[in-house]
Amino acid sequence: MSGDGDSAEQGAATRLVAAGRRPEWTGTPEAPGVVVSPPVWRASTHLYPDMASLRAGRANADGAFYYGRRGAPTQWALADALTAIEPGAAGTMLYPSGVTAIAAALLTVLVPGDVLLMVDNAYEPTRALARGLLADLGIETRWFDAMDPTGLARALCERSRAVMLEAPGSLTMEVPDIPALCALARERGLTAILDNTWAGPLGFAALAKGADIAVMSLTKHVGGHSDLMMGSAAAAAPLYARLRRRAQQFGFVVSPDDAALALRGLRSMALRLDRETHSALAIARWLAGRPEVARVLCPMLPGSPGHAHWARDFTGGCGLFSFVLRGGTSRGRDDFIDALRLFGIGYSWGGFESLATPVDPAPLRTASPWPPADSAPADRFGVRLSIGLEDPDDLIADLARALDRMG
Ligand SMILES: *Cc1c(COP(=O)(O)O)cnc(C)c1O
């Protein structure tokens, strides 16, 4: 980070502007810092002036030229910027996708024979990774209800080595007590990995709140424009060194073009998140007043599961939330989504454009029931919205029209 003054005391948006812009990455030795953003360094081979330099290059340090697989200033600038906004991080590794980042974090801390404890509302591909790759490697996974205060304690065993957390949970958006879960993990010698894609470091200071590894899909808010795939994992010193070593063994590398796009997205992230959060909350409130809607699952909305944890621990939200239709059918829900005009139908989220996808959590839960015990069994089918940068009144009008058409 190249900003002047005590960056820890600066606001998030200010830090985002200066982060990663080291003068040596945005200029030449004669004119350091001469351009605002680091150029795209397309490089596999890094050339050395002589043999002594080639030998020195083997030091394997961050920010040292060596060979393209260890990146060049474009990727280093992005990693450096992400580290600058993650309190407590010694460094950040970049991966070709968010799923790769999750797999890499898990394979950094787990070995055959270990048991992984995973929240029941984990991102579906994270569950699939546990049932597939980890199981094949002899790593067992046990799922627990993140909202049950004794859930993690009861799932613990002699062989448990790590816990995979997510806040809020995927699709159903429950916000667990992350500091308490991380404290218990630490007490029992487990590594706590948090998928922090929803809030990101501006909305939830994952490492400062107790997580050992903070994972993000940069595909979502950091990219922010639905045109790149990338992931990251940040940690304090000892674990960061292990993440880095494992990533180098796998040979993970991200393209400099994508790193430059992600860095561009990062500069406006605070602004976009702020807008999305306000729009999402207005839309969530409006949906909560509609008779066709049984529940609105939006961490920022009072009454949503875990809202008190969000209000206590988070400094921001985003535009992603779900709602459940009252007594609806899967077909009626699909008709509702088809009737929307301003919402795209497609996976991912966190882009500038609004999206809608169907939510059917029932087949994805093994440690907690869906619909939950405190809701009517018929209130089962949901919709997940990713609120973009459109005018919220237009989005509300679109939702109203689609709900009316559902009859
Ligand atoms: C999208 C997503 C991921 C995976 O990210 P990709 O970049 O799509 O691989 C991981 N976790 C959560 C919570 C996500 O929504």
- The single residue of 21, 120, 123, 275 carrying the catalytic annotation is 123
At 239-264, the pLDDT tens digits run 999 999 999 999 999 999 999 999 99
Which of ligand 1's atoms lies nearest the C-alpha of 166?
A: 13
* C-alpha neighbours within 13 Å on the C-beta side of residue 156: 14
Question: Residue 24 and residue 63: Cα distance in Å, rounded?
Answer: 10
Closest residue to atom 7 of ligand 1, CA basis = 98
Residue found by looking up tokens 């976009």 in the block: 272
Residue 239 tokens, joined: 């674990």
Q: For ligand 1, say whether the CB of 357 is within 6 Å of any of its atoms.
A: no
74-255 carries CATH number 3.40.640.10: yes
Per-residue model confidence as pLDDT tens digits over 120-150: 999 999 999 999 999 999 999 999 999 999 9
Pairing, β 160-166 against β 191-195 = parallel
Nearest ligand 1 atom to the CA of 101 is: 9
* pTM recorded for the entire structure: 0.96
Kind and range of the H or E element at 92?
A: strand 91-95
In 167-290, DSSP assigns E strands to 191-195, 213-217, 231-235
Q: Is the dihedral of CA 89, 91, 96, 100 positive or negative?
A: negative
Q: What pLDDT score does 58 carry? A: 72
Token readout for 262 is 């992600």
Backbone angles phi, psi at 115, to 5 degrees: -115, 130
Question: CB of 386 closer than 6 A to ligand 1?
Answer: no
What are the sequence ranges of the domains in the chain? 74-255, 269-406
Q: Which residue among 119, 124, 174, 220 has the greatest number of ligand 1 atoms within 8 angstroms of its CB, and so is best to mutate?
A: 220
CATH of domain 269-406: 3.90.1150.10
Kindly report the number of other CB atoms within 10 A of residue 346's CB atom. Answer: 13
Cβ(350) to ligand 1 under 6 A?
A: no
CB 123 near ligand 1, within 6 Å: yes
What is the average pLDDT value for the chain, to the nearest integer?
Answer: 95
Substitution candidate for ligand 1 out of 100, 164, 171, 197 with most atoms within 8 A of CB = 197
Residue 150: Cβ-neighbour burial (10 angstroms; 0-12, 13-18, 19+):
exposed
Instruction: Identify any residues that bridge with 344 across adjacent strands, giving them in sequence order.
Output: 355
Residue tagged active-site, from 220, 333, 380, 384:
220
> Is residue 104 within 6 Å of ligand 1 at its C-beta?
no
- Under DSSP, the state recorded for 132 is I
Please report, for residues 1, 107, 131, the alpha-carbon distance to residue 161 in angstroms, rounded to integers and kept in the order given. Answer: 34, 12, 17
Helical spans, DSSP H, in 292-339: 307-313, 330-339
CATH topology agreement for domains 74-255 and 269-406: no
Backbone angles phi, psi at 371, to 5 degrees: -60, 155
- SS3 call for 349: coil
Distance 217 CA to ligand 1 centre (A): 5
Which residues lie below 8 Å from residue 142, measured CB to CB, with a gap of 6+?
A: 115, 116, 117, 118, 155, 157, 160
The closest of 127, 113, 119 to 161, measured between CA atoms, is: 113
Count CB neighbours of 267 within 10 A: 18
Q: What is the pLDDT of residues 318-371, one digit of tens each?
A: 999 999 999 989 999 999 999 999 999 999 999 999 999 999 998 899 999 899
Q: Do β-strands 320-325 and 140-144 pair in parallel, antiparallel, or remain unpaired? A: unpaired
**Residues 148-200: tens digit of each pLDDT:** 999 999 999 999 999 999 999 999 999 999 999 999 999 999 999 999 999 99
Q: Is 195 a catalytic site residue? A: yes
